[in-house]
Every structure is written in structure tokens, then in C-alpha cells.
């Protein structure tokens, strides 16, 4: 459906922004996805995993997404967890490029 394709396109844009190492803009995009489309942090992670499978073949990225998914099950403040995940992806995945 249209909403799913929109969310997929925005998730792709989020990865593109992280690749540019723009932490502030990346966090804003993630927050916008969660607020405007009503996604939980875990649903956002699932969408990012789908994008990562199609666009990236990176073990570190997979581990970061899985770690964050797990932490969202046990931790508070999903926005904080998502922002921390974005910072990790930028520093551990895209700073290596």
C-alpha cells in the first residue's frame, strides 16, 4: 500500500542521511517517521532491517539494528534508543567508508 511504500522511501532516505553523517537530520527523520506514520521504535527497526537487506551487506549494521531491537524490549524512551542507534550506525558503519 501507499503508506508502506512511503515509509520504505523515507527509511531509504534515513540511511542516505546517515551515510552523509548528519546525526541531527537523521534523528529528525526517524522521529518524523515514528510520529507521522505512527510507527513504534520496533516497527521502525523492522523497516530499517528491510532496507538494510536490500541496500547494504554489512554485518555491523545488522548487529546494531538487532541490539537496538532488543534494547527496545527492555528499555524506556524509544526515541533515545533510536537516536543512540543512529549515532552508532554513523560512527561504526559509515565512518569506515
Domain covering 2-96: architecture: Up-down Bundle (1.20)
- The answer to whether 55 and 15 are in contact (CB under 8 A) is yes
Instruction: Quote the CA–CA distance of 4 and 46 in Å, as a whole number.
Output: 12
Domain boundaries, the chain: 2-96
Q: What is the pLDDT of residue 3?
A: 67
The DSSP result for 59-90, as a single string, is HHHHHHHHHHHHHHHH-S-HHHHHHHHHHHHH
Q: What is the pLDDT of residue 23?
A: 97
Residues with Cβ within 8 Å of 22's Cβ and at least 6 positions away in sequence, in order, are none
Nine-digit cell string for 79: 526515541
Q: Is 0.75 topped by the overall pTM? A: yes
Q: Going residue by residue through the chain, which has 97 residues, state the pLDDT in tens, using 9 for 90 and above.
A: 446 788 889 899 999 999 999 999 999 999 999 999 899 999 999 999 999 998 888 999 999 999 999 999 988 899 999 999 999 999 999 987 6
Give me the pLDDT at residue 2, please.
Answer: 44
* Helix (H/G/I), strand (E/B), else coil: 41: helix
- Which one-letter DSSP state was computed for residue 43? H
Q: What is the pLDDT of residue 97?
A: 65
Amino acid at each position: 500500500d501507499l503508506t508502506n511504500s512511503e515509509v520504505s522511501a523515507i527509511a531509504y532516505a534515513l540511511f542516505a542521511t546517515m551515510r552523509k553523517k548528519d546525526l541531527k537530520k537523521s534523528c529528525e527523520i526517524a522521529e518524523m517517521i515514528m510520529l507521522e506514520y505512527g510507527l513504534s521504535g520496533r516497527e521502525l527497526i523492522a523497516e530499517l532491517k528491510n532496507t538494510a537487506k536490500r541496500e547494504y551487506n554489512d554485518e555491523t549494521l545488522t548487529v546494531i539494528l538487532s541490539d537496538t531491537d532488543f534494547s527496545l524490549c527492555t528499555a524506556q524512551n524509544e526515541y533515545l534508543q533510536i537516536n543512540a542507534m543512529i549515532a552508532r550506525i554513523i560512527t561504526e558503519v559509515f565512518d569506515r567508508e
